[in-house]
Chains A and B, each alone.
Chain A
Amino acid sequence: MRRTALGAAVALAGVAVLSAAMAPARSHLSIATAALVLVVPVVLGVAIGGFAAGVIAVLGGFLAYDLLFIPPFGTLDVGSGQNWVALAVYALVVLMVARVVSSLQRARSESARREVEARRLYELSDALVGDRPLAELLARVATTLQESFSLRSVSLLLAEGEALRSVALAGEPLSDAELAQVLPSGGRLRSATAGGGRVVGLPLSAAGRPFGLVVLVSPDPLGPGEWAPLRTYANQVALALERARLRDQAVRNGLLEEADRMRSALLGAVSHDLRTPLASLKAAVSDLRQPGLALSESDAGELLALVEGQADRLARMVTNLLDMTRIEAGALEQHREVTSVAELVAESLAMLGGPERTGRIVSEIPPGLPPVEVDHVLIGHVLVNLLENAERYAPEGTKIAIGAEARPGAPGGRASVEAWVEDHGPGVPESMRERIFTMFSRDGAGGRSGLGLAIAKAFVEVHGETIRVEEASGGGSRFAFGLPAAPALPEVP
């Protein structure tokens, strides 16, 4: 409407200005010249305001031409027959020009509309492709639909059993009244329009089975021309959602399979770990019990020491398994108390066994470390597990170092102590440094469980600290973890 008025105004003003300019010289001008000049404002008006503006412009131009340029001037009378012809030709030309220009105009606006549609389609399919989880995809579809169609609101509802559940919303929330208007009455989802075309519900179906509904609320009633593309989009959205659903399902199945595989591998590794000490226990005991076997006193003593060591090893395995179960069950209680790192180390060395086992372990705990506040049983297990791990991989005759240093906290944060166990074995390759703390073997082929390290990680994390493995200086691996420092003691007067 505004464009029509503007076009008409421009045309009429143009006619007025040109007429005023030509009027003084009209006796010298041929009537054909005046007619040609007066075509210009009419074309201008049509170009701006379309056909309706063109008609007004034609009328204005006609009147101005007749009144001012066809003698007798100032009247609608058309003197001679020749003048009639000029007037008729002017009217005809101007009308035809108006028509041509306005149809061009329409074609241009049509192509602009198609371009918008194509752009929307592009935006939407851009939103649909790409490997996104279902929830993200739903949100993205709703937002894209709302933005590209300038809708007031877009809701996606998915069928869950009998009910429909809203899973994504863009724009204003849908009122219950609006929703009720497009909800299926007979259970089967179908497209529905309500509110004079302002609220539209489109079913989403895959493999001929509807599984959801898109509800669109438009500020203006939607005409049939806008309906058709929306239906196309709904189909595309349905396909994409179905694909995303299948993908999510596949991911879930994959995870379950992985968990299953992990469990059986863990079981295999744990049973290997439990059986290994049993084999040497039984071999040693069967020798000690065999009458008439020529065992020297030192051999018998060695076998007995071996039996004791293996019994300890089994006991620790069982403790680890129980710890593991407690971690898995989430029933990890901690009783923190203030203690020193040196005490914790001494305790774990005692747990590990006699000097023939701990002889290669060098303690490098510096004096003057701040006291720590930890559960000494849990941290004891961490240290024992790390030492056992080091023993297993450090070549015979090499040292295993255990050390610590104070780590001042950030201003306002807590201070802590970093403790470490270092061996000069083969070390842990960069790619394995994360995985090594999962319940898995350090070396797949040997099938050992990584139970000890997984437990160490869990126990350290219970204290709000972290554990990591890095390369020891001079080769080998260095397992370092934090211990929370005890809060400073209040000043006692």
Chain B
Amino acid sequence: MSMVLVVDDDPSLRRALRIGLVARGYEVSVAGAGGEGIDQVALSAPDVVVLDLGLPDIDGVDVCRRLREWSSVPILVLSAADAEGRKVAALDAGADDYVTKPFGMAELEARLRVALRHARAGRDEELTELAVGDLRVDLVHQSASFRGRELDLTARELAFLTYLARNAGKVCTHHMILKEVWGPQYGAETHYLRVYAHRLRRKLGDEDGVFLRTHPGIGYQLVAS
């Protein structure tokens, strides 16, 4: 049974989430403020954290950053619809994914499952091969295949795909991808990413962007269905 820590200052939402998640077979603990949330992660080691960005004591983005200093627990942030900048900040600070308020419980649970699966898959650091759904990336021979078919990729395309595969399930912001794949002096050239994502989707046969998902204004994510 996976344990979910819900950090939100609204008692009603905490109650609704607790009932809904318990009914879905999760173990749930709650915290009403950022400091309390950080303590709970340390004390009860949850499998995943659902974190509201608007907390009364510590800003949610700072909570992400502080947790990432010592914990790799998947973090799913809750944020308002028009707060793109806040989502990006939270993802850059180490959050894995976000859900926009208001959300249905089914959607929240789907995101929780993705986060949990990838967290388990990513445990082993000494990987020679990455597998995300039908994608295989051979890290030793620097090659990739999709649905058993070898992909003809340039070095940079492979680097882009490898970075997303390493962080499968996690929403990678434009900033993060540019810095990792192109180099530390990059960060604002989001049009590069549009071009590469388009090429990769064509080579993957994923024109609709189901596997390589675009989060407009935020970044990209590999989603194993």
Contacts and interface: CB of A to CB of B under 8 A. Distances in A.
Chain B interface bracket (under 10, 10 to 19, 20 to 34, 35 or more): 20 to 34
A447 B16 contact: no
Contact of B13 (A279, A290, A295, A296): A279
A287 interface: yes
B9 A446 contact: yes
Contacts of A148: none
Contacts of B55: 445-446
B55 to A, nearest CB: 7
Interface residues of A, number: 30
B38 to A, nearest CB: 16
A300 to B, nearest CB: 9
Given A280-B15, A282-B102, A290-B106, A447 B54 contact: yes
A446 B19 contact: no
A254 B123 CA distance: 55
B10 A276 contact: yes
A279 B103 contact: yes
A306 B54 contact: no
Nearest to B8: A279
Nearest to A307: B16
A194 to B, nearest CB: 68
B56 interface: yes
A445 B57 contact: yes
Given A284-B16, A306-B15, A294 B102 contact: no
B42 interface: no
B187 to A, nearest CB: 27
B184 interface: no
A276 B24 CA distance: 23
Contacts of A403: none
A271 interface: yes
Contacts of A284: 16, 19-20
The prevalent SS among residues of A at the interface is helix
Contacts of B106: 286, 290
Contact of A302 (B17, B19, B105): B19
Given A284-B16, A303-B16, A443 B56 contact: yes
Contact of B16 (A287, A313, A445): A287
B23 interface: yes
A281 interface: yes
B101 to A, nearest CB: 4
A172 interface: no
Interface in A298-341: 299, 302-303, 306, 309-310, 313
A293 B103 CA distance: 17
A396 to B, nearest CB: 8
Nearest to B102: A282
A278 interface: yes
Contact of A309 (B12, B17, B23, B104): B12
A3 interface: no
B80 interface: yes
Contact of B10 (A279, A282, A443): A279
Residue picked from B12, B22, B104, B108, most chain A C-beta under 10 Å: B12
A290 B107 CA distance: 12
B102 A283 contact: yes
Given A275-B102, A286-B104, A295-B19, A280 B57 contact: no
A282 B23 contact: no
Interface in B24-59: 24, 54-59
Given A283-B105, A283-B108, A287-B23, A272 B16 contact: no
A171 interface: no
A295 B23 contact: yes
A277 interface: yes
The 4 closest A-B pairs by CB, nearest first: A282-B102, A286-B104, A446-B56, A280-B12
13 contacts: A275-B101, A276-B10, A278-B101, A279-B78, A283-B20, A283-B108, A286-B20, A286-B106, A287-B19, A287-B105, A295-B23, A299-B22, A443-B56
Given A280-B16, A293-B20, A306-B15, 7 more contacts: A275-B80, A279-B102, A280-B13, A282-B102, A283-B16, A287-B16, A293-B24
